[in-house]
A and B are shown apart, each in its own frame.
Chain A
Amino acid sequence: MNRSRPTSSGQPSAETDIVLSVKNLRTEFHTSEGIFPAVRNVDFNVRRGMQLGIVGESGSGKSALALSILGLVRPPGRIVSGEVLLNGRDLRSMDEKSLSRVRGKEMSLIFQDPMTALDPVKTIGTQIMEGILHHNRGLARSDARKRAAQLLDDVEVPQAAQRLESYPHQFSGGMRQRVMIAIAIANEPDLIVADEPTTALDVTTQAQVLDVFERLVQSTGTAVILITHNLGIVAEFCDEVQVMYAGRIVESASTKEIFRLPGHPYTESLLKSVPRPEEAQRGKLFSVAGFPPSLAHLPRGCSFEPRCFAGKGLALCRSERPSPSWTGPNENGRLVECHLASQRLEDDR
């Protein structure tokens, strides 16, 4: 797997190379209990063919970010500011009709639970063909059918042509997730957003599905945003990682760098929480004290400060929100949003 490794996201590079550009995106949920800014002024770019991982705890805003990108935020949520540029065009200024021409064609989505994402009363074949026919007006049904069979074969569903007649409930979880992948890649999109695509699967099935997915996106050059909480999957699948905490991207770097030396204390805490039997067979696991803050009542300073092993109680961390800064030599460049980042990464220079 020797893919050319793109440099850090968000860094200036050839404009044409950028599939998705998210600028100053802010998504809020307005409820009776207050305003919850799930995504707080986020900036990043995704380049062609990049496999980007977004990690964070539940409630960190990763799914809200995915929905915002796809224009699927529904009330009480709404995008209050910012731009989402797909191939240079702002999706936020598009009406629903233009958006439906983009979704499934230029970008598509894979959900965690294929059983709720697939229509239980339509055959697998019909559901794959819908996407193909929607974006290829004038294509004969028989041709769409051939294409659907080919796609099912690509995702390694055995006896693909016959299985087009099956209904979702006749498929196992792994097979259904393959169908979701087939639908997602049907029109060879530039970007696929996959939200926890293998979380509901067993480990052997997860390995099968990830293998198929990786092979297909690499052969078509599709960029992927993979949202997951499994750091093992990030290490195996992603070129770059963005860590989300309380609606902000608090660290962004290449996978190798972030695992070698996490810049943000939160990233470090996440990595340390994973059991590593070879290191501490019977010792205690590192755990992050406390719980994520309520988005409606964020601390005045750094939102991670109350739980931070490095900055807890420091006057600077308590009083001022850190702003993102680039650290490290250019080729290993990373973006960290922490007052202590340069100090923490100094030894590495």
Chain B
Amino acid sequence: MSNFETSPHPDAPQKARKPPAPQKLVGIENLVKEFSIGKESFGRKPTMLRAVDNVSLEINSGETFGLVGESGCGKTTIARCLMRLAIPSSGRIMFRDTDVTALKGKELRRFRLHMQMVFQDPHASLDSRMTARQIVEEPLTIHDIGDRKERREKVDEILTLVGIDPSQGNRKPHGFSGGQAQRIALARALVLNPDMLVLDEPVSALDVSIQAQVLNFLRDIQDRFSLTYLFIVHDLVVAEYFCDRIAVLYLGAVVEMAESHVLFREPLHPYTVSLVSAVPVPDPESRGRGSRIVLSGEVSPSGAQMSGCRFRTRCPIGRNRENCRDISPKLVEKSPGHWVACHFPGELEHAVTAASNIASPP
């Protein structure tokens, strides 16, 4: 018996987390965000690139909602719209009963108390000239919370919480390792007691051992403070492990959305199926089983403008089909909670299963 096939760790709490009561915290409705590329000239309209194309989704209180997809699929743009770091071209974003897209000035500032963001590279997102302590204190100063002494106590408390010794608080970000710096970024996000964190690839820049520390910590504080996470990630192994529900994006649109374990066990959209099959599996025994679907071509932004299904030029099953060429598939609920935008959902999965059945001896 291999050592690492036994239980994960003696200290690992094996409690099954109770499913969070589905209470809506964020509602994104028909969100569209366009960017102009090229210049306007002689009355000619600039070309518009639709980075987010009519996305609707709901995030429940206390859950971890994952956005996955390749670079350029619009996952970060959605997060930026949600944080109001970008202004949507159309559509609404509701946070509880507030329309985030309509907020201005003081109200917008107050809204940001509820939602904070953590970025991929802590050494880039933290001001290198400020000390850890100043970085964590800054949000309190901006929002005018507490007096000097209270702030100092709060900073001590939060630094201790994220596992940074407050006595090291006078060091600057570069005096910390990547994992520690990411904890400081988390401390900055947590110091305002937000309801929700937008985590944009928070562990992608970290080594696998440090990644595990940070993921464990994120889960800890989620349980302790009933936080809601929007988790942007391209590493599907991390996504499957960490998220409750996941939306798969392709060229700015949601192509499939389901509970994490459903999405990875029974993916219905051919794009999801290929994504899942492309993940390198850390198990040499499963190597070369021929189950990998390698997509041809690459994401091309013009795909969003073409008729029919935006995935069809790369689709292993829909490339030459009339339906796929002419009709843009709608996102429909195939089974409770499992949404997919495809004319032939599940077909590719069957093909793969069939092939591996033939390949493997009885």
Interface of A toward B, CB cutoff 8 Å: 1, 57-58, 172-175, 202-208, 210-211, 229-237, 255-256, 259-262, 268-277, 279-288, 291
Contact = CB atoms under 8 A, between A and B. Distances in A.
Q: Which of A172, A284, A285 is packed against the most chain B CB atoms within 10 Å?
A: A285
A273 B209 contact: yes
A229 B212 CA distance: 14
Given A236-B281, A284-B12, A207 B216 contact: no
Interface string B265-298: 0000000001100111111110110001011001
Interface stretch (B13-21, B82-90, B113-121): B13-21
B264 interface: yes
15 contacts: A57-B208, A58-B178, A203-B278, A206-B280, A207-B278, A208-B294, A229-B207, A236-B284, A236-B287, A259-B285, A277-B240, A279-B5, A284-B12, A285-B212, A286-B9
B56 interface: no
Interface string B135-146: 000000000000
Given A274-B237, A275-B215, A283-B13, 18 more contacts: A1-B288, A58-B207, A202-B71, A204-B274, A204-B295, A207-B278, A232-B237, A232-B280, A261-B3, A270-B209, A275-B212, A275-B240, A280-B8, A284-B216, A285-B216, A287-B212, A287-B216, A291-B177
Contacts of A274: 208, 237, 282
A286 B14 contact: no
Given A204-B275, A235-B282, A281 B261 contact: yes
Nearest to A288: B209
Contacts of A207: 278, 280, 292, 294-295
B122 interface: no
Contact of B242 (A174, A260, A269, A275): A275
Interface of B: 2-5, 8-9, 11-17, 70-71, 177-180, 207-213, 215-216, 219, 234-238, 240-242, 260-261, 264, 274-275, 278-285, 287-288, 292, 294-295, 298
Given A280-B12, A283-B14, A231 B282 contact: yes
A203 B178 CA distance: 23
A175 B208 CA distance: 27
Given A208-B295, A236-B287, A268-B4, A275 B279 contact: no
Contact of A261 (B2, B210, B240, B298): B2
Contacts of A282: 15-17
Contact of B280 (A58, A173, A236, A277): A236
B320 to A, nearest CB: 19
Given A203-B279, A231-B208, A255-B284, A268 B3 contact: yes
Contact of A256 (B207, B236, B285, B288): B285
A174 B72 CA distance: 14
B266 to A, nearest CB: 14
A283 B12 contact: yes
